[in-house]
Amino acid sequence: MLQNKTIVLVLAASCLALPPAPAAAQDAARPARGIYDKPYLTGTGGGVSVGGYLDMELEIPEHGTSTFDQYRFIPFITGYVSDRVSVSAEIEFEHGGDVNGGNDDGEIKLEFAVMDFRFSDAFSFRGGVLLSPLGRFNVLHDSPLNDLTARPVVARQLLPSTLSESGMGFFGAFAAGDEGELDYEAYVVNGFNGSIIDDDGRLRVREGRGSKKQDNNDDKAFVGRLGYSPRLGTTLGLSVHTGAYDDAGDHRLNIGALDAKVTFGALEFQGEAALVDADIDRDRLPDTAESQRGAYLQANWHVLHDRLLQGSVVTLVARGDRVDYDTDRDGDDEEGVTFGVNFRPTEETVFRADYNWTWQTPVAGERGDALGRFYFSFATYF
């Protein structure tokens, strides 16, 4: 089965490169470094760096109860074992963590934990609980990086952030011209499971994120991303995830994605588009969708540099979302529009205020009324 993925492996990709030394965790002259693009606090012994991020939200829905949500507290740690070996991990505490034996909304989980072995800049090994390079957003999803509070619908549902999987593979980076860089990641992982079909017989990719302990079939999945940055501030990416999802290994799930971020001075555009194709057992599920698609486009306009505080910036943001959960029939889709403004006193900290409208259309039904909600939130690295 792995031999059938040889051609796909050539296309696999990433926006990650090699881990920098702790004192140089961010390099402004190069593209973003994924899991290593963190403002670490340098440890005092053994080449260990620690840090993390925190976010907090106030949500006020148009209809419903307003609430505070201590959404995420994420500590991370990286150990530099030698000049070739490093270990990096993130632990996620959501909604205050699991403090009541699984009866609360909160959870504690290992978001990723990997060992990297460096052969060269162009070729390194990675294994462990991997942050899957399915789209740029999944790799660079940290709350302090985001200019809006809620993540795009396509990044939550079709490219289900935060997607982490057990597996191993390779990554690297090549120079491309005078200023450009070409990055790749290619991993073999356990993949998705049969829960991509929910209890109502609908295709819902997010629900089928697989076990990190054991594969449900003997067919290993492949995930990879090819990223190209022609200049600082511009990135283009192509991602793919493919593998059998059912217990017997007879039916496949294929996901493809394109992502882009382009900067023109103070104005930047970013977005992702995804296409899902599932091999469905028609004898058992005659009405389940086989194909889904979705996209988002976001514009960020950075203004008032250094006007309010030294090093600060204000950003005006607009985003449009759309996900079609069944491309073969009318209905079963979700659309959204969000407008917001945020203030960054420093690059690592953001205060956000935004308003979101969402429309949902059931199968063979009329478009529902807009559901509005206001967010005020903050997020910061530490």
Q: Please write down the HEC assignment for all residues of the chain.
A: CHHHHHHHHHHCCCCCCCCCCHHHCCCCCCCCCHHHCCCCEECCCCCEEEEEEEEEEEEEECCCCCEEEEEEEEEEEEEECCCCEEEEEEEEEECCCCCCCCCCCCEEEEEEEEEEEEEECCEEEEEEEEECCCCHHHHCCCHHHCCCCCCCHHHHHCCCCCCEEEEEEEEEEEEECCCEEEEEEEEEECCCCHHHECCCCCECHHHHCCCCCCCCCCCCEEEEEEEEEEECCEEEEEEEEEEECCCCCCCEEEEEEEEEEEEECCEEEEEEEEEEEECCCCCCCCCCCCEEEEEEEEEEEEECCCCCCCCCEEEEEEEEEEEECCCCCCCCEEEEEEEEEEEEEECCEEEEEEEEEEEEECCCCCCCCCEEEEEEEEEEEC
Is the pTM value of this prediction over 0.85?
yes
The total of structural domains in the chain comes to 1
Q: How confident is the model at residue 106 (pLDDT cuts 50, 70, 90)?
A: confident
The whole-number pLDDT of residue 335 equals: 95
The whole-number pLDDT of residue 29 equals: 30
Q: Please say if the pLDDT value at position 268 is more than 60.
A: yes
Number of residues in the chain: 382
d(CA 113, CA 273): 28
The whole-number pLDDT of residue 367 equals: 79
Nearest Cα neighbor of 171 from 103, 105, 128, 117 is: 117
**What are the angstrom distances between the C-alpha of 44 and each of 36, 90, 94?**
19, 19, 29
Q: Comparing 358 with 368, which gets the higher pLDDT?
A: 358
CA 236, chain centre distance (Å) = 15
3-state secondary structure 126-162: EEEEEECCCCHHHHCCCHHHCCCCCCCHHHHHCCCCC
**For 83-99, how does the pLDDT look when each residue is reduced to its tens digit (9 = 90+)?**
899 999 999 999 988 76
**Rg (Cα) of the chain, in Å, rounded?**
21
Nearest Cα neighbor of 353 from 364, 362, 361, 343 is: 343
Nearest Cα neighbor of 184 from 27, 8, 16 is: 16
Q: CATH code at 306? A: 2.40.160.10
**For 26-80, how does the pLDDT look when each residue is reduced to its tens digit (9 = 90+)?**
333 333 356 777 776 554 445 888 899 999 999 999 989 999 999 999 999 999 8
Q: What percent of the chain has pLDDT over 70?
A: 88
Q: Encoding tokens for residue 34?
A: 């994924």
**What are the angstrom distances between the C-alpha of 143 and each of 4, 103, 350?**
37, 26, 9
CA atoms within 13 A on the CB side of 183: 24
**For 190-249, how does the pLDDT look when each residue is reduced to its tens digit (9 = 90+)?**
999 999 999 999 999 999 999 999 999 999 999 999 999 999 899 999 999 999 999 999
175 bridge partner residues:
181
Phi and psi at 134, nearest 5°, equal -95, 90
CA atoms within 13 A on the CB side of 71: 20
Q: Encoding tokens for residue 360?
A: 């949902």
For the chain, give the longest Cα–Cα distance: 64
The whole-number pLDDT of residue 96 equals: 84
Q: Taking a C-beta distance cutoff of 8 angstroms, is the pair 347, 180 a contact?
A: no
Q: Taking a C-beta distance cutoff of 8 angstroms, is the pair 255, 165 a contact?
A: no
Domain span holding position 289: 2-381
The whole-number pLDDT of residue 42 equals: 54
120 bridge partner residues:
123
**For 140-163, how does the pLDDT look when each residue is reduced to its tens digit (9 = 90+)?**
999 999 999 999 999 999 999 999
